[in-house]
Structure 1
């Protein structure tokens, strides 16, 4: 997942960068509003952490341009030292999705960021996932491929859920480990073993392997047979 930090305080930006990178996010930083807007429009982001008081262009103006002129719906978590209700309401009016007052806990930033991204991806309410001939019922956590029931251990189910929610997207190993195991990250061979188990369970004789290994990087779900683990 990709997160853009727009923050002019170098110490705060560095702390956020380090924490989010260790949590498996791909992170970049802009130190002023104009650069932040350019970077927000030049790439696709899963979320933006946006300081309110910025040189060049403040966070409210950036958010307004992002929403109004560029028509981007990227989740925005606004960070500010202003804690008055009117300041918070103004942030929401200009398009912020959530609001966090400084000083803040990095864990709270992580929790709010995760919740925003889940809502943005439509992952809050249970639903069915389908890709190719694979069906995953998120209510019962049961899997079928071409009508054949597929039995999976819990972590493999979670791994499949992540891959099916963004098919064709390449997930880094760190991203998948964070999504499936949370803060209790496994050793280096655990993810590989679970991908192997998932691949074998999904792929019956005559069926194509839907999991592609991007060597040295991670994995993705694809619509045709690819290379192995």
Structure 2
């Protein structure tokens, strides 16, 4: 048994357009403490990856909408997500594997494959990533504990709303990079965008909580693009 009794389930996004393969993966992994979500094209997969927290992503290369290489590249460079990713594909040449690793894949499994091997590889990726994960995000004198969801600045406890917590965590995870308005709106509301500029309102509340009582502002607006959090511009 790879996971001890009482271990938290591993949440996996499977991006694969072959429904039979998806059914086989689900039938096997769901018996081994995995929670699975499925996407059958690259565009839907990107939406799920940005709006939900996954422990590992299983990615086919040949996909409608957006191929696997393009998906992986956008995940790493635009969405700034470092979720462990296993490429699952029939392409088995060394050149194919090199291309996969170059765009950000963490592992590579060639079809046809044994479900037991997929299980072992996913667990290894999860364990490796979990061991490296930092529970506390830090930008300057601001900290966010991802386990307790406690925010402190200069040792002072700061209480913020759940919506602002989502915004703050994403901004801190990629600091000092800019997060686009579209990315933040998708994170909060997916496809059901509210009327008006609700994002601006939530960012104002976040600024009031994080910056109002301190001399140096950390949250910065990048005109017509989005927001970033950093000690200085």
* TM band (smaller chain): 0.5 to 0.7
Counterpart for residue 161 of structure 2: none
> 2:109 matched to 1:100?
yes
CA shift, 1:22, in A, is 1.1
**Matching of residues 163-182 of structure 1 within 5 Å:** none
1:64 to 73, 86, 95: 73
Counterpart for residue 75 of structure 1: 84
Counterpart for residue 145 of structure 1: none
How many residues of Structure 1 are paired with residues of Structure 2 in the alignment?
Answer: 128
1:21 to 30, 34, 37: 30
CA shift, 1:122, in A, is 1.1
Q: Distance in 1 between matches of 2:148 and 2:127?
A: 18
Unmatched 5+ residue regions in structure 1?
124-165, 170-229
> 2:24 matched to 1:11?
no
> 2:120 matched to 1:115?
no
CA shift, 1:48, in A, is 0.4
Q: Distance in 1 between matches of 2:59 and 2:28?
A: 16
CA shift, 1:84, in A, is 0.2
Counterpart for residue 152 of structure 1: none
Moved over 3 A (4+): 166-169
Counterpart for residue 40 of structure 1: 49
**Matching of residues 128-207 of structure 1 within 5 Å:** none
CA shift, 1:168, in A, is 6.2
> 2:99 matched to 1:85?
no
* TM-score normalised per structure 2: 0.53
Kindly report the root-mean-square deviation, in angstroms, between the aligned alpha carbons of the 2 structures.
1.9
Question: Alignment partner of 1:104: what SS?
Answer: coil
Unmatched 5+ residue regions in structure 2?
1-9, 133-145, 150-233
Is the contact made by 1:8 and 1:31 (CA closer than 8 Å) also made in structure 2?
Answer: yes
Question: Alignment partner of 2:88: what SS?
Answer: strand
Is the contact made by 1:3 and 1:49 (CA closer than 8 Å) also made in structure 2?
Answer: yes
Distance 1:167 1:70, change over 3 A: closer
